[in-house]
Amino acid sequence: MLQQQLTTLLAQTDIALTEKQQQQLVRYVELLNKWNKAYNLTSVRLPEEMMIKHIMDSLVVAPHLPGHHYIDVGTGPGLPGIVLAIALPNTHFVLLDSLGKRVRFLMHVKHELGLDNVTPVQSRVEEYQPSVKLDGVLSRAFASLQDMVDWCSHLIDHSGKFIALKGVFPSEELESLPTGVKFEQKIALEVPKLDAQRHLIILSKD
């Protein structure tokens, strides 16, 4: 049933996934649903809703990530990082979260799905130092743009991007950006079956 739902949702986008990738996404939802009962990883309880509100909501970002090394800060149960790692197997994602139970779940998902392109890390973002130059910092429902920039600035150089997944266009947050950071681009995202605004906000260092 989840597989059929995913196929129907994908048909409403320009995103092409292999059968294996689709199976990995379905398995991820099954694992998230199973672990959620004990670990309380997400407030979304129904697998069918997870497919829209988590999987598709993350998946629509995939066409807008040109680089090969990203960090997903405050990843929680792996959103958007796990979903993007499945969709972009040649791109590496560090999945950063401060809570051990979430990182244990991510390690299990990595092993279960055979995802060689993810590295779950338990750490506070301020204390983490990447081992390679990152193309971008990803954030989904993690913090305000100001906090994201303040906490994550050490993770990228001038060629890297801050990429925030937002709902309604965050006009006020953009007006109060700290100096040294510039607004580059907004991308309106369409998530099938989700009746809500979604925007990708891209910032860079001046």
Known binding-site residues for S-adenosyl-L-methionine equal 74, 79, 125-126, 140
Yes or no: say if 57 and 191 are a contact pair by the CB < 8 Å rule: yes
Q: Which residue has the tokens 């991510």?
A: 106
Cis peptide preceding 80, ω within 30 of 0: yes
Tokens of 63: 């066409």
Round to whole Å and give the CA distance between 150 and 30: 35
Task: Please provide the DSSP assignment of 99-166 as one string.
Answer: -HHHHHHHHHHHHHHT-TTEEEEES-GGG---SS--SEEEEESS--HHHHHHHHGGG--TT-EEEEEE
SS3 of 182, please? Answer: strand
Yes or no: say if 85 and 77 are a contact pair by the CB < 8 Å rule: no
Round to whole Å and give the CA distance between 153 and 170: 20
Question: Which residue ranges are tagged as binding site?
Answer: 74, 79, 125-126, 140
Yes or no: say if 181 and 162 are a contact pair by the CB < 8 Å rule: yes
